[in-house]
Structure 1
């Protein structure tokens, strides 16, 4: 396995670690509605940071975006909006299925669809079936799905041991939302593929190969921002028990603390894709679609590791922890299989 591929896998792990930890600052927010907290964090994650980073990278910010036709930008934007819908469904899935079952189904679906639909859309799916490298990557995807399932099962045992239940458990509704979340969340993978002309243009104006994907985030996350912020603002306007005015009327010290924690959570959410771009840049171009598989499987892996480090598994017994560790090892094995497939 080449050093570049190993580096790509490493950066995908770093990005996934940021994703696994991003909600920790949000948990420190007090006396604010979820909508206000999510909107402020999202504003920095989907608008402020992508625009700022791109402005610093590009020699002529406006000329770069003005060089693309509507036909080039629109699919990138719409796939970003598709990813944004997946974000909303993700939260609803947790509501009706609980964290472990919801994550297992949603991540499993988006891992498969986001990884395999890209070569299908490119008309290259036959390469997965007829080449040794393609067959290895398919095996890696299958092993990753098994690993995600094992970790999710461990989480389900943990929730049962601790007496944790979904807010409004509804298996039928939850399963529908989980599948929808998995499908729509794969929009980020599709958006990255559709944004290749933007990556190439960024490289042509002197942007380092490590950073060429970042300017496309202005468009991708712009689509996601409109969906997420629109959803939050509508809820704040319609729901009588939700009010921005009430959220902003808390004590000044708490107001500042809440704002800082929300911004930190949003920044960590953005940096998962910052490092995703670094990992993607080190993956061989013909296997670019595998970036999504690495990111999503590492997301589950890092979530398990973070839970252990934060001592969330204390008191659940040995069996769930052993199953969690087994699932983590299976995901690591999947990453190695994919790495060997890309190197062959």
Structure 2
């Protein structure tokens, strides 16, 4: 039953991860950097704090009393994950929803499964499975088979993208994806997929925060919400710096004062 619930929750998460960009297509009159940051503030700052407060009310005390090293490394993993998240938005921008999601999420799944286990080969930890152990265990072999399936899927989607680009005229490309660029999009999407896996490393680095939440009597199912707050702060910092630069460079900040754009409706879609 627990395995079935795990698959169900992962499926729900997969649908959410693969479709969250869709409302952005409804935003009218704003530059990409404007609606990306508004959505990001909601996703990386407001909602995580609300979720942590509702499930681990003492999360502020746990964070404030934790080691600066633990917080620093967890935040750093969030920064790197933030680069991946930022690149994800650009990947979808250049490749479209279907191809962009396939490449980004495929690489994210592959590296998220492989890199931690390889790390534990060189730095063994109790309770952690190394890459060697994965190879010689049935469960590990199933995971590796799934990774192989992801990589094959990426190759197929990449080939489909190349065929699509060769068949479409410049005018048709703009109608399909306004800024379609296969080469630029694939490079950005691969980078995003690799760096997006750093969220997993952030969870590992912030495990003492989770352990502290459990020790304080909070439900272990929600204890990771404390760690998520710190990781997402890192992601927010990366995106805020880059988006601020783009906004100043392109004067996109004027989107919020332009009376001709439906500000309230745009924000509604982003929230």
- CA positional deviation for 1:232: 0.9
One of 27, 30, 33 as aligned partner of 1:32: 30
2:56–2:225 Cα contact (<8 Å) kept:
no
Q: What residue in structure 1 maps to residue 257 of structure 2?
A: 248
The CA RMSD over aligned residues, in Å, is 2.6
Q: What residue in structure 1 maps to residue 69 of structure 2?
A: 71
TM-score normalised by structure 1 residue count: 0.67
Gaps of at least 5 residues in structure 1 are 264-344
1:104–1:149 Cα contact (<8 Å) kept:
no
Gaps of at least 5 residues in structure 2 are 122-129
Q: What residue in structure 2 maps to residue 83 of structure 1?
A: 81
Bigger drift between 58-67 and 75-84 goes to 58-67
Instruction: Trace 1:33-112 onto structure 2 (pairs within 5 A).
Output: 33-96=31-94, 100-112=98-110
Q: Is 2:181 the partner of 1:169?
A: yes
- CA positional deviation for 1:59: 3.7
One of 128, 151, 158 as aligned partner of 1:145: 151
One of 222, 225, 229 as aligned partner of 1:214: 225
2:78–2:202 Cα contact (<8 Å) kept:
yes
CA distance in 2, matches of 1:71, 1:50: 22
Instruction: Trace 1:246-285 onto structure 2 (pairs within 5 A).
Output: 246-250=255-259, 254-263=262-271
Aligned length: 257
- CA positional deviation for 1:158: 6.7
CA distance in 1, matches of 2:48, 2:238: 17
The change in CA–CA distance for 1:118 and 1:58 in structure 2 (over 3 A counts) is: same
One of 226, 245, 260 as aligned partner of 1:234: 245
- CA positional deviation for 1:45: 0.6
Q: What residue in structure 1 maps to residue 208 of structure 2?
A: 197
1:54–1:215 Cα contact (<8 Å) kept:
yes
2:59–2:213 Cα contact (<8 Å) kept:
no
- CA positional deviation for 1:149: 4.2
